[in-house]
Homo-oligomer: A and B are copies of this chain.
Amino acid sequence: MAKRDIPYTDYFTEVVKTMTGTGLLLVSKDGNDRPNAMTIGWGTIGAIWGKPMWVILVRPSRYTYQCIEKTGDFTINVPPPGLKEAVTFCGTKSGRDYDKFSTCKLTAVPGRAVNAPIIGECVVNYECRVVHHNDVLPSELVGAIQNSAYKDGDYHRVYFGEILEAYADEDAGRKLK
């Protein structure tokens, strides 16, 4: 599928709805240059420090955490409805145990600007470079979220990823409806 550059602000509503529904695929590379995909249902998008930005959260226990700590780069990929099964797989299995790209028959297309591939089958792709990170602070979090998200600790690292490239399938508007 041919990709075209888009303003990073395009399709925000559709992207966030997909994220909170099916989920999005966060891709990063491990120390052996092997790409790994993780499903995310949480994240925010906008602009910080005058730069287009994705804010994402990754738990230290995740394989993706090691990858991003190593490379500082990641991509966010918006799956079409047909990729639902792959998104479920990537959200329940670890990259320590599976090569998710080969198992799910996903195509890793090298990033243009970052050291992480995008997923060719996804409808919208963002290439991001970490410009800042901090952590979720147990002491500054309301109790309800402590209970719902952190019963086992493993507090998320918050990555601020500058969006260096944003592109989409030619017919993204139709596919995201």
Contacts and interface: CB of A to CB of B under 8 A. Distances in A.
Interface of A: 9-13, 16-17, 19-20, 41-50, 53-55, 57, 131-137, 140-142, 144-145, 148-149, 158
Q: Do most interface residues of chain A lie in helix, strand or loop, or is the interface mixed? A: mixed
Contacts of A55: 44, 46, 55
A20 B44 contact: no
A136 B149 CA distance: 23
Contacts of A42: 46-50
A135 to B, nearest CB: 7
Nearest to A51: B145
A48 B12 CA distance: 15
Contact of A13 (B12, B20, B50, B134): B12
A10 B9 contact: no
Given A44-B45, A44-B47, A49-B145, A13 B16 contact: no
Q: How many copies, total?
A: 2
Contacts of A131: 141-142, 144-145
A41 B47 contact: yes
Given A9-B13, A132-B140, 4 more contacts: A19-B46, A42-B49, A133-B140, A134-B135
Nearest to A20: B47
A16 B47 contact: yes
Contacts of A145: 49, 131-132
Task: Give me the 4 closest cross-chain CB pairs, A-B, nearest first.
Answer: A44-B46, A12-B12, A44-B44, A42-B48
B148 A134 contact: no
A16 B44 CA distance: 12
Contacts of A50: 41-42, 148
